[in-house]
Structure 1
Amino acid sequence: MIPEASVSPWRIGDPSTPVVDITVPYANENRNRVLLSEWRRQGGERVPAPPMLLPRHSEGTYRARIWKQNLLDFFLEDQYSDALAGSTGGPGGHLEDRIVTSVTLSGEWRFTTQGQRSTAAAGMVCVRRNEDPWDFEIARGTRAVTLVLPASEIRFPANLRAVTAEQASPAAALLLAQLRLWAELADGLGAAAAGAARNATLELFRGLMNDQVIDDAEFAPALLRAAMGHIETRLLADPDLNPQGIAAALNVSVRTLYRAFGQGATSPVMGYVRERRLECARAELISTRLTVSEIAARWHFADSSHFVKAYKKRFTETPTAGR
C-alpha cells in the first residue's frame, strides 16, 4: 500500500470507493494496454481515460487512484498518480468547453500546448483553458485536486492558456477554503444553499483570476467597476473606508487595486472616495436643511474646516454659496 494514495485529504466523494484504483507493474510489456483497458473499465464515462504512456522500469509498480464529486455544473477530482505522460486530447478527453484547475498537493504536473508551458508544483494552483489539448507529465507520487467548471463562466485572457498562483496567496487560499467546505457539506445542502455555494465559489474563482492577470485589458475595467460599486455602498456607512478594506472585499491585493484605478480612473482610490463624498455632500447641501457642520460629520470629514477647504477646491465655491 502506498500511504500517499490511501487517504483523500479533501474528503471528495466516498473515501472508501475511488472511481479509479489501478496498479500496473512497470516491467509489464503490455503495461500501457493494461492501464488503458482497466481505466476504461473502472472510469467509464465518469472519468474518461486520456491517451497516456507509462515509463519502462525493471521493477516497481504504477499506481493511480481518483475520487470524484459532482458539485452542480462543477466537479472535483482528488487524483493520485505515479510517473506518467499523456495528453488531454482524444475522444472524451480534453474538455474543450471547460476551465481546468489543478491544485497540486505533492509532486508536480507539467503541461505544454501551442508553445506555452506551465508547471503546477506542490503548493501551486494552475488554471488552464482547454480549447487545444495539452501534453502533460506527472512526477512520481503526485497528488492534486482538480476543479473543472464551464469555460463560459470565466473571462480568460485571450493571449494566455494558463495562469498560476501560489496556494498561500490570499485570493487562492480563500477560494480553496470555500471549495473544500462546499465539497464537505454538499450532500446536506438544499437546492438554494447549493446554488449559493456554487455562485460564491465562482466569484472567488474570478477574484483569483483578476488578481493574477489584472494587467490584461479585459480584467482591469471589471475590477474597477466592482471597486467603485463597493465604494458606493460604503461611502456613508464606513468612516474608515480604505484601500486595504476595499481590496480585501474584492479578493485582490492592494497593489492590484491601485493598478486598476491607475489604468481606468482619473484619480487614485482614496481620491475617488473623497470626490464621491463631496458630490454627495453637495447634493445634500442643496436638498436639505442640514448645517455645513452636520453634513461634514455625516460624510466623514474630520471637521467643518477640512470639509470647507476640500469643497472649495473641488467646486471652486464655498458650501454656503450654492444654497
Structure 2
Amino acid sequence: MELNKCFLVVLSLALVLGLGESFDFHEKELETEESLWDLYERWRSHHTVSRSLDDKHNRFNVFKYNVHYVHNVNKKDKPYKLKLNKFADMTNHEFKSTYAGSNVKHHRMLRGSPKGNGTFIYEKVDMVPPSVDWRKKGAITGIKDQGQCGSCWAFSTVVGVEGINQIKTKKLVSLSEQELVDCDDKENAGCNGGLMDLAFEFIKRKGGITTKENYPYNAADETCDVSKENYPVVSIDGHENVPANNKDALMKVAANQPIVGSSLVANPLKRMELPPRIVKNSWGTEWGEKAYIRMQRGISDKEGLCGIAMEASYPIKSSSNNPKGPLPSPKDEL
C-alpha cells in the first residue's frame, strides 16, 4: 500500500523500535463475508469511526480489500508489518486527496524552484554523530492531527520553526498552523496545499508566528484573524534548502536541527542496510508507529522512494531573540 505525500520532519539518524497501539485480527476472521462484517464493526468501534448507513457498504468493500492486502503483505518476509489504522476503509486515492493535499508539484510549477537563502550553513560540518533524536533533546512538540485539510505544508513548517527555536532558546513552544492556513493566503492555499519554503518566507516577512494556544487549529480555511496574527512569539531569519539528493548534506543538517520536507514514499524500508531516518507526520497517533515512520537512508528521489532527499529545507535562527509584545498597527506607525 503506497504511503504518499507530506511526511514532515526528519528527526533522527537512529533506529526506533516498537509499534504503536494497533488493531489486530486473525486469519479466521477473513474466511466468510459474515466474519468480515464482524471484523469491520469491531474495527469501527476500536477506532471510533462513524459511517452513514448509505456509505457503509461501500466502506466495507474498501475495508475488505485493505484487510486482505495487509494480511498478504504480512505473510511475506518484509522488514516491516502493516496494521489496520483508522484509515483502513479508505482507498489510496481517497486518502491522498483528503489528507495529503500539499499539491507540491502544482505549487512548484506556479512558484518555481525553491529559493532559500542561497547558502548552506552546515557546509563545513565535519563530524556527524551516529545518532541524533530531536525528540529526546526536547525539540519536538507532541503529535498533532491536521484532520481533513491539506495543510501538511503548514504543519511541516511549524515543526521546523518549533525545533530551531527550542535549540536556540531552550524553550519548546507549540506554534500555530492555523495562522499559516488563514493568513499566508497570497502565496499558499490553506487546505488546498502549499509549500514550506513560501511559509518560511511568510514567517520571516511578518516578523514571526504566534502560538497554537493563541491561534488554535480548526482544520479549515478561515479568514485571517489579524488580532491574533499580530502577536508573534517566535521569529526566524530565513531558511535554507538541503542540496538535492545529497545524503551527506542531509545528515549534516539532521545532526544540527530537524529537517522538514514533503515526500513521496512507496514500500518503505525495502532494505535495512543503514539505520533509517525517523520521520514524523501530522495524521495523529494511529498512523504508523505512533505518528512516526522509519524511512530508508541512502536513496535518491530518482528511485521513486524519497522526496525528502530532493526537497528538504530548514529554518535559520541565528539568536535566541524573539518578538516581544504585539506588532504595531498601521495607526500606531503614523
In the superposition, the TM-score normalised over structure 2's length comes to 0.27
Considering Cα pairs closer than 8 Å and 6+ residues apart, tell me whether 1 or 2 has the greater RCO. 2
Higher-Rg member (1/2): 1
Higher helix proportion (structure 1 or 2): 1
